[in-house]
Structure 1
């Protein structure tokens, strides 16, 4: 295992310039965290917010390829670290997931379907929504750029169909902060508190799976 304190991860944060309260929030999130090499990316504008988000992600991938990045974090400006975050926890899992051939590692999700524990903290998932904090590996860069899309594109759903090599961390290191509005997902404007409920429900599901996994890994079922 490399020295975790010598590693910095290129981190690209998507932000609309007029959303100054979000910029202040996300800047504070990364303060005193030298493991992240943060670049603020001006979001692509489109009347369809989800399409603008996906175009922003493509813009990031193009920049990452120009910079010859091996692994990056794509971050939306509503990302918020959870109390479970630590430098060691995140970087260790990024490295181990790489050796397992993962294309995307989610730091926290508001919705999953099937989930299979690979380790106590990493879960293979068939569907993984929420892109407020995702680790994207070089193996997936060109495929994102090559993937056809139209104005109906929703990035997290598209990524879930593009690769089976995706995992989510649990306990989550990231959740979405509720600003009371969304530039991307209109339903979040209509149903207050929806984001928090979705993340809490997903965490509860994964916690049950983890308890079963650790029970059988410990051999307690044989006693």
Structure 2
């Protein structure tokens, strides 16, 4: 099923981070459902600004094309044992039919979640942008937004659309390289990123339990 589908994936990588590039390319190795495009990250003294500029560069590239959905990945993206090609593609198709504008493979934090299906949950806000499926309706809003020095990409994207969901179980987490190209706080506390994802996963398990027990009665 879905054998002939290939999803454009834009991988953001700083040119000098060859270790990270090798890492993320290995994650995608053998997964022919992805059409990989490497994007040299925009450099900025403010790493958060550089990340946003890189996202805008990608959206500028695709907005005039034929693709209505793209995946943007950072080079610390890691597939979990829950990744499955057919499940991802089916959820992308179903999410599009529900007018979802942003679908996340995994997150390091959120406020509240609402179960939509057995695998997809609406969220109010989120942390971490290592694996994002973006749909065409959000493209122009990204291009129009005037990013401020105090902004973060995940914070802005959380505000730009209420039509956002996350897959659970997570199919993507961030690999902790021991430093962050974006957030200084994550450099200062070892294993902080890993801890964020563990905490988000434990919190999502509660929502999943309620979803299975009371809504789907499994």
User: TM-score per shorter chain, which class?
Assistant: over 0.9
Q: Tell me, which stretches of 5 or more residues in structure 1 are unaligned?
A: none
- Equivalent residue number for residue 119 of structure 1: 117
**2:49 and 2:147 in contact (8 A); partners too:** no
Cα distance in structure 1, aligned partners of 2:29 and 2:18: 17
**2:100 and 2:135 in contact (8 A); partners too:** yes
> How do residues 140-155 of structure 1 correspond to structure 2 at under 5 angstroms?
140-155=138-153
- Equivalent residue number for residue 128 of structure 1: 126
Report deviation, 1:9. 0.6
- Equivalent residue number for residue 42 of structure 1: 40
**Runs of 4 or more above 4 Å deviation:** none
Report deviation, 1:218. 4.0
Cα distance in structure 2, aligned partners of 1:89 and 1:140: 23
- Sort the Cα spacing of 1:88 and 1:69 in 2 relative to 1 into closer, same or farther, 3 A: same
Cα distance in structure 2, aligned partners of 1:45 and 1:212: 44
- Equivalent residue number for residue 178 of structure 1: 176
Cα distance in structure 2, aligned partners of 1:28 and 1:177: 13
Report deviation, 1:148. 1.9
Cα distance in structure 2, aligned partners of 1:123 and 1:219: 17
Cα distance in structure 1, aligned partners of 2:41 and 2:17: 11
TM-score using structure 1 length: 0.95
Paired residue total:
218
- Equivalent residue number for residue 72 of structure 2: 74
Shifted more, 63-72 versus 161-170: the winner is 63-72
**1:128 and 1:168 in contact (8 A); partners too:** no
Cα distance in structure 1, aligned partners of 2:151 and 2:16: 24
- Equivalent residue number for residue 158 of structure 1: 156
Report deviation, 1:191. 0.5
Instruction: Determine if the alignment matches structure 1 residue 27 to structure 2 residue 33.
Output: no
- Equivalent residue number for residue 61 of structure 2: 63
- Equivalent residue number for residue 6 of structure 1: 4
**1:16 and 1:43 in contact (8 A); partners too:** yes
After superposition, what is the alpha-carbon deviation per residue over 1:142-174, rounded to whole angstroms, capped at 9, x for unaligned?
111011222222110001111100001100010
- Equivalent residue number for residue 201 of structure 2: 203
**1:54 and 1:153 in contact (8 A); partners too:** no
**2:15 and 2:40 in contact (8 A); partners too:** yes
CA RMSD of aligned residues (A): 1.0
After superposition, what is the alpha-carbon deviation per residue over 1:6-32, rounded to whole angstroms, capped at 9, x for unaligned?
111100000011000001001101110
TM-score using structure 2 length: 0.97
